Amino acid sequence: MEAAPCISQIASLLAEPKRTAMLWALMDGSAKSSEELATLAGLSPASANAHLARLTGSGLLRIEARRGKRLFRVAAADVSAAIDALASTTMASAARSTPQALPPALMAPQLLRRARWCHGHLGGELAAQLYQRMLEAGWFERHEQRTEVTVKGAQHLADLGIFIQALAAPLVCDCFDWSQQQPHLGGALGAGLMQLFLQANWISVINESRALSINEAGLREISRLAAR
């Protein structure tokens, strides 16, 4: 129980919507001035500086000097991971509480919506589209409580160098995407595909962000997967 006060300190900082708005604007790995963040959060410069001082003092943000100007950036990858996890939990809990109505997709910087890290696998628009193509192409078969890789899917994955027999369970699972209102591929197979994309140099990490950069070859090759 001794760790609880430390958790609550960070939680209390994130409970303020204006501070969360400024953190959220930096989730794409960008560095922004206090003036930019004040505008994005709808704050006066003085109020923004007070909030930024608390976020910086707590280790959630860091300051870097550029041409004599102070810019704010997410302090480390673990901060981005925590914010992303909160976003996922927010959407998943909303979906559980009102399953008859999809929660609205969270607004976020374009880079985050396009492609990002998500629990070791690929998330975002690119991931959701890929998972949908795989389902439609018959790579996976959905049952009431599980999703299984079909023989066809296993063959195609083996052609990519991914052998499902070598992967740990759970092999395939839906991971609800907070920016797309539909699932992308989670589980060991999702992580395996992520490693394939990284090793092929199709995608790369952006600073301390959860956002991922996709090069032209990567976009072309990933878009071809499971395409009819």
pLDDT tens for each residue of 52-73: 999 999 999 999 998 889 999 9
Question: Residue 66 belongs to what domain range?
Answer: 4-75
Whether 58 and 105 map to the same domain: the answer is no
Which region holds residue 43: left if phi is over 0, alpha if psi is between -120 and 50, else beta? Answer: beta
User: Per 3-state DSSP, what percentage of the chain is helix, strand, and coil (rounded to 5)?
Assistant: 50, 20, 30
150: pLDDT strictly greater than 80:
yes
Percent above pLDDT 90 for the chain? 64
Give the whole-angstrom CA distance, residue 52 versus residue 23.
Answer: 9
Domain annotation covers residue 22: yes
Give the whole-angstrom CA distance, residue 148 versus residue 169.
Answer: 11
Rounded mean pLDDT of 45-49? 96
Question: Which pLDDT belongs to residue 97?
Answer: 78
User: Is the CB of residue 26 less than 8 Å from the CB of residue 74?
Assistant: yes
In tens, the pLDDT along 91-134 reads: 778 777 776 666 666 677 888 889 999 989 999 999 999 999 99
Q: What residues are paired with 48 via a beta bridge?
A: none
Q: Which of 17, 42, 75 is the C-terminal boundary of a domain?
A: 75
Rounded mean pLDDT of 23-34? 92
161: pLDDT strictly greater than 90:
yes
Eight-class DSSP state of 191: H
Whether 134 and 213 map to the same domain: the answer is yes
Three-class SS state of 123: strand
43: pLDDT strictly greater than 70:
yes
Question: Which pLDDT belongs to residue 182?
Answer: 86
84: pLDDT strictly greater than 90:
no
Whether 60 and 112 map to the same domain: the answer is no
Three-class SS state of 206: coil
Whether 191 and 110 map to the same domain: the answer is yes
CATH number of the CATH domain containing 47: 1.10.10.10
Six token digits for residue 63: 């300051």
Whether 219 and 107 map to the same domain: the answer is yes
Domain annotation covers residue 54: yes
Question: Which pLDDT belongs to residue 5?
Answer: 59
2: pLDDT strictly greater than 80:
no
pTM value is 0.77
Whether 65 and 114 map to the same domain: the answer is no
